[in-house]
Structures are given as C-alpha cells and as structure tokens.
Amino acid sequence: MTVNTSALGNLTALPPASGRAGFGGALRSEWTKIRSVRSTMWTLGSATVVTIGISVLGNWGRANHGDATTAQLAQEDLTQRTLFGIILGQLIMVVFGAMAITSEYSTGMVRTSLTAQPRRAPVFWAKLLVVSAVAFVVGEVISFVSFLISSSFWRAKGIDLTLSTPHAMQAVIGGGLYLAGSAILAFGLGAILRHTAGAITSGVGLLFVLTILVNFLPDSWQHHLDKWLPFNSGGQVWSTQHVPGTDLGAWTGFGVFMIYGVVAIALGGYIFRNRDA
C-alpha cells in the first residue's frame, strides 16, 4: 500500500482548530435563516401589503365619501387615521415574531443550531436582534408609506397634513416601533410556549382580544384597566391626540407596552437556556 505523502503534508500544514463559536457567527447564521425561509418573506410581504392597503383604502373612502366638513376633520386625529391599517398589521407581525422561533422547534432545526453553537445565549440574542431589526425596518416602511399616501387624500380636501404637522413625525415613527414591538412580544411568547399556534393565539389574545373583553367589565374597572392594556398603551405612540380615559403620554404608553415584551423575552430566554430543545 502506498501513502500519498503530499496529501499528508497538506493535512499537517492546516492550522489547528481554535477559538469558539461567537455572537458574530450566530448573528450571521440567524440572518441567513430569516432571509432564506420562504414563509418569513411571505409573512412580511403580507404585513406590508395588507397594512398599507387598508390604511390607503380607508382614508381614500373617508376623504372622498365622508360627510364631515373640513372644520370637523381638522379636529380629528387624521395622522392616526392614516395609520389605521396597523390594527390588522400588528396581528401579522405577531405571526412573524412567533414563527421566527417556533418554526425551528416544529422542524427540529433548533437542535442543529445548538449543535453548531452549543452556547445558547448567543443563539437566542442573535435571533432576537435579527427579528427586532427586520421588524423595525418593515414596520417603519409600512408606517411611512401608509402616511405619505393616505395624507395626500386629506391635502386634496384642503387639510394641511404632512410630516411637519405637530406630532405627526412622532406618530409615524411610533407606528413602526409599535409593529416591531408586536413582533418582539410574539417572539418572547414563542420562546416560552415553543408552539406556533399557541404563541400566535397568545399574542393575538393580548393585543386584540383582551382589549375587547375589557369592554364587558363595569365602567369603573375599565377606567383603571384600559390604559395598561398592551394595545391601548402602545397605541399612544402612533396618536397625536390624547386618548380619552388614559393619562399616559406617547412614550410612557409605549414604555408600558414594551414591558410586556421585555417580560416575555426574559422568561423566554430563561426557558431557552435551561430547557432541553
């Protein structure tokens, strides 16, 4: 038997393996995953089209077929109206945030990820950072496009509504932040429950159903609870007017909204690190 000494020489010339998988590698891996999964692209595409579409159609219909006078319309929060589609868009962002982590559990891909990167904390935080960044960018695109198109209908009615209108920029930026916050909350719920349907149902329940159910409580209870609900508190940041029944400012309300997400992320991160995949 002959031995290929040149091949052996090449092998011995290779540098020894050193170091360990770090956060940068985990970040690149998570970015590759999220942009290569078809369901993710479809979900984000749906969020963009549906949210902008509902906002534009709703404002076009009200501006062209409503019976309110220009003076009456000037008293309304038309900036918030231009972002009306966020009410449905938040639910699609919940799907995105939940599936970003639960899909790996359903396919078993999470085991492969943790084999390549045994340190679980970098995997979890890299995944969260990628999800948050993508949701923020998509959310801001949705918010700005919705406003810019929808506000043109009101300007045609003689109402000066631009990004320089008082508090309009805050509301438009806030709309994108709210959508990103919805995805982050759902991501945390997904890490806790590890089940797509359960995480989506929980997210929709917190953001949408809970707000409806509180309306069946006595008025005195509603007065104290309404402002602390995720949708009501977070909704302050994409509004330019004070919402009756609440005493939270725009950024204070958004802070309350994000507390829900932070709690879900903290609990989800703990479970991710300490429970078998």
Contact 122, 22 (CB under 8 A): yes
State the residue for tokens 């008082």.
Answer: 166
Block means of pLDDT (10 residues each) for the chain, length 277 residues?
50 49 82 86 93 95 80 84 95 95 86 79 93 97 97 90 93 97 97 95 93 86 86 92 72 95 97 83
69, burial (CB in 10 Å: exposed 0-12, middle 13-18, buried 19+):
exposed
With H, G, I as helix, E, B as strand and everything else as coil, classify residue 260. helix
What ranges do the domains of the chain cover? 23-274
What is the rounded distance in angstroms from the CA atom of residue 274 to the CA atom of residue 277?
Answer: 9
Contact 175, 83 (CB under 8 A): yes
pLDDT at 244: 57
pLDDT at 182: 97
With H, G, I as helix, E, B as strand and everything else as coil, classify residue 128. helix
Alpha helices in the chain (DSSP H): 5-13, 23-36, 38-65, 70-74, 78-82, 86-107, 109-116, 120-156, 168-193, 196-204, 210-213, 219-225, 230-235, 250-274
Task: Measure CA 273 to chain center.
Answer: 23
What is the rounded distance in angstroms from the CA atom of residue 214 to the CA atom of residue 227?
Answer: 11
pLDDT at 8: 46
pLDDT at 183: 97
196, burial (CB in 10 Å: exposed 0-12, middle 13-18, buried 19+):
middle
What is the rounded distance in angstroms from the CA atom of residue 208 to the CA atom of residue 200?
Answer: 12
